[in-house]
Structure 1
Amino acid sequence: MAGRDSFLEVTWTDEVTGRHGYLVIDRLVRGAASGGLRMRDGCTLDEVRDLARGMTLKEAVVYSPGDAYVPFGGGKGGIDFAPHDPGARGVMARYVVAMKPLLEAYWSAGEDLGVRQDVLEEVALEAGLRSTIDAALRLVPDPAAALDRVRAGFAVSVDGVSLADLVGGYGVAEVALAAAQRVGLLGGGARAVVQGFGSMGGATARYLARAGVPVVGICDALGVVWHPDGLDVEALLRTRDRYGRVDRRSLRPGDRELPREDWLAVEAEILVPAALSYVLTEANVDAVNARLVVEAANVPTTAAGEAALTARGVPVIPDFVANVATNAWWWWTLFGDIAPTAEAAFGRISTTLRGLLHEMLDRAARTGGSPRAAALAMANERAAELPR
């Protein structure tokens, strides 16, 4: 799949603010593409293009011929606007109206960085769409029943949190635990640091801590919260605001605050970047103390940064394997491959992602390549089997 042009690239200008939004459909499978919409100040077309290509890989790598769900192609949207700005919802609404023909015909969208699914769903309904996944609904035998299944899944609450906000991080934690065991970290008291404490980072931290891996550092927009013996993740989650920021007034006496830029240097064996793209680069990876990097964010590591880590013997588990659970859960539920319950979701995620992790690492060991090279080969082979 490398070296080819995108199927479609759109640049949109908001008539009110003058800011730009983008949509890249990297590839269509059965006439459809899947991927989220992000909003951040400084979002670029190149970034959205990278993310769309990643979605093509993410879709393909989970292909199982026995499923009713046949993976889509990859697509991604991005808006160059600060999500905390009071005008953000209006910008998003106008973007969705502009992209409505493509949302109806090709692109099934969901939340990504800076976008909440409930708000995205609201503006989609206001624009006259049934849902943000209208394009996918064309491919199920009973669209109304399929949409009901997805909405039932979103209505499930686990420990007071929507299942939809947990499945992605649960999958990252499962991959991290399996990878840590493979490289011999779990027996030696592995610790973790998580950059980003939104739905993905928060759920990753929760399920790592519940599995007995102390989360010693959490980085949010305000800085780093650190404790050498492990943070009280559940308590911090209860104080988290909608932007993933921890209320510092809730910290325990032994917890410390560190500058935001110190997140890479926290002493921990497992590093989970779970927020922005391009945060691990050739310029900063020398500060990484971890012995394993698990990508919960989309494209958090540049090629040069990953090469430097690999040269040091630090494996990087690529995003399109580690964070695939949210996307896959949507479609397994929509097509009826799993019931809209927490038990079904967590069971399928654990089995699928741990299987992918071991397949990827086994292949890397045989070929002498990196985990990413092995995962790319897996995704390309599966993509070649998909119907057009």
Structure 2
Amino acid sequence: MTTPLLSLTWTDDVTGRQGFLVVDRLVRGVSSGGLRMRPGCTLDEVAGLARGMSMKEALHYDPEARYVPLGGAKGGIDCDPRDPEAYGLLVRYLRTMRPYVESFWATGEDLGLTQAVLDRAAAEAGLVSSVQAVYPLLDDEAGDRQRLADAFAVEVDGFGLDELVGGCGVAESVLTALDRAGVPYWRTRVAVQGLGTMGGATARFLTRAGLAVVAVADIKGTMANPAGLDIERLLAARDAYGTVDRAALRPGDRELPGEAWLSAEAEVLVPAAVSYAIDVANQGRITARWIAEAANMPVRPEAEVLLAARGVTVLPDVVVNSATNAWWWWTLFGDIAADADEAFAHTRRSMRALTDRTLARAETDGTTPRAAAHAIAAERLPVIAERFGRHR
């Protein structure tokens, strides 16, 4: 495991809470990775996420594309985003990190933060944009920035395009795994933890593909129906944090304890909320065949070993949830237009190819999909460094 290029801890002088920034590596002098806010966030967690970002960037490297992968980074703040002090804390964090955001850390929404909130806080902190470090790499800064702004303004059925592309990518990874195994969509049941941006969009795309989402967990507990939940109804009843108003449940829907999603009778589990959701203690409750990591680092490594021994395949986060980050750069660098159909088509094509390549490599090497993805990234990182310079 390599030492990150930069690792720092900040303590807020108002609340005493801590924030973190880890830059794993730079490519062309820039790194990419979101900013999360959650109670209990740690420097080690942020470092692991930054390493993952380096791999996500490398996995999407296409020498023919305009989008050139960046280095990996991540930010984190130890605070509940619902806390009344959270927004002020976010602004102070960004003011402190302003030199890094201006120079070499392009960031965006992550767990606990929406892009709208992050943009508002960044403006208060004196930043031009949360991704302004990338601007010197653009061929036509004004045009490229306008294209990204136009993309963020696109809505599909009342949802922002930026809220949907990540879930589209997760769904496509799941569908690719089913296709390789010859499992029909209509016979496949899904349990989702978290109905925020990523979990909600994933549930939406999987339902529209013909799968049945039989369980959804949020902070209040698990909602379940063996015949399938009405996902559109639940999405319409969410608050800003992905918590569903239980008044939206139908007569046949049940309310169960929070961890009931783990043991749901489903072929696919989609942890789409917090890191470390699946550990040694609870992995034995899982009967699903696949776990698709829509969240970052939801399965602890020691739990994954036990799951693999039982024949449960973990589709890793560095592959599965990488589409949101890639969509930003595909759009900004000009590989795709500010158009929903083009964005979804490119996402589906790219994620199917990446997932298929990862699963094929795992079969060939006799390893897990995560080990295969790491191996592919490890082969690409030196190629990227050789082409664009060894900043790390």
TM-score norm. by structure 2 comes to: 0.97
Deviations 1:105-134 (A, max 9, x none): 110000000011011111112222211001
- 2:103 corresponds to: 105
> Which whole-Å CA distance do the structure 1 matches of 2:256 and 2:125 have between them?
44
Pick aligned residue for 1:28 from 22, 26, 29: 26
1:195-241 deviations in Å (ceiling 9; x for gaps): 00000000000000000000000000100000001000001111111
Deviation at 1:80, TM superposition (A): 0.5
Task: For residues 43-62 of structure 1, give each alpha carbon's deviation from its aligned partner in whole angstroms, at most 9, with x where no partner exists.
Answer: 10000001100110111100
Match status 1:128 vs 2:126: yes
Deviation of 1:382 (Å): 1.4
Asked if 1:349 is matched to 2:328, the reply is no
Give the equivalent residue in structure 2 for 1:262. 260
**Shift >6 Å, 4+ stretches:** none
The answer on whether the counterparts of 1:22 and 1:48 sit within 8 Å (CA) in structure 2 is: yes
In 1, are the aligned partners of 2:186 and 2:212 still within 8 Å (CA)?
no
- Contact 2:185 2:210 (8 Å CA) reproduced: no
Hey, what does 2:224 align to over in structure 1? Answer: 226
Task: Name the CA distance, whole Å, in 1 between partners of 2:243 and 2:126.
Answer: 33
Q: Is the 8 A contact 1:185 1:269 kept in 2?
A: no
> 1:217 maps to which residue?
215
**Aligned amino acid, residue 196 of structure 1:** G
The residue that corresponds to 1:53 in the other structure is: 51
**1:299 aligned residue (281, 297, 300):** 297
Residue number in structure 1 paired with 2:113: 115
Q: Shift of residue 186 of structure 1?
A: 2.4
Amino acid at match of 2:332: L
Conserved? CA contact 1:278–1:302, under 8 Å: yes
Hey, what's the Cα distance between the residues in 1 that align with 2:33 and 2:185?
Answer: 37
SS of the residue 2:107 aligns to? strand
Q: Which residue of 2 aligns with 1:378?
A: 376
In the alignment, structure 1 segments of 5+ residues that lack a partner are none
Letter in 1 for 2:219: A
Paired residues of 2:33 and 2:74 also in contact (CA < 8 A): yes
1:280 Cα deviation from its structure 2 partner: 0.9
Structure 1 vs Structure 2 CA RMSD: 0.9
Q: CA deviation at 1:143?
A: 1.8
Are the aligned partners of 1:10 and 1:23 in contact in 2 as well (CA < 8 Å)?
Answer: yes
Q: 1:98 to 1:268 in 2, by over 3 A?
A: same
Q: How far 1:184 sits from its partner (Å)?
A: 3.4
- Distance, in Å, in 2 between the alignment partners of 1:324 and 1:305 is 22
> Which residue does the alignment assign to 1:175?
173
Taking every aligned residue pair, what percent have the same amino acid on both sides?
54
SS in 2 for 1:300: coil
- The answer on whether the counterparts of 1:52 and 1:74 sit within 8 Å (CA) in structure 2 is yes
1:326-359 deviations in whole A, cap 9, x for unaligned?
Answer: 0000000000010011011101100000001111
- Alignment partner, residue 276 of structure 1: 274
Listed as ranges, the matches of 1:303-318 within 5 Å are 303-318=301-316
Which digits, 9 at most, give the CA deviation of each residue in 1:258-316, with x for residues without a partner?
00021101110000000100111111110001111110000111111111111111110
| Separation in structure 2 between the aligned mates of residue 125 and residue 90 of structure 1, nearest angstrom | 13
TM-superposed CA distance for 1:185, in Å, is 3.0
Distance 1:236 1:147 in 2: 34
Residue 90 of structure 1 and its aligned partner are, at CA, apart by 0.4
1:89 aligned partner: 87
What is the match of residue 41 of structure 1?
39
In the TM superposition, residue 187 of structure 1 has moved relative to its aligned partner by: 6.0
**SS of equivalent residue, structure 1 residue 79:** strand
CA separation in 2, counterparts of 1:141 and 1:261? 49
1:251 partnered with 2:249: yes
Cα deviation digits, residues 144-203 of structure 1 (max 9, x gap):
221111111100000000000000011101111111222233267110000000000000
Q: In structure 2, what is the equivalent of residue 340 of structure 1?
A: 338
SS at match of 1:147: helix
**Following the alignment from structure 1 to structure 2, what is the Cα–Cα distance between the partners of residues 46 and 11?**
11
The two structures have a TM-score, normalised by structure 1, of 0.98
Instruction: Give, as a single letter, the amino acid of the residue that structure 2 aligns with 1:324.
Output: S
Aligned partner of 1:297: which letter?
A
How far is the alpha carbon of 1:250 from its aligned partner? Answer: 1.1
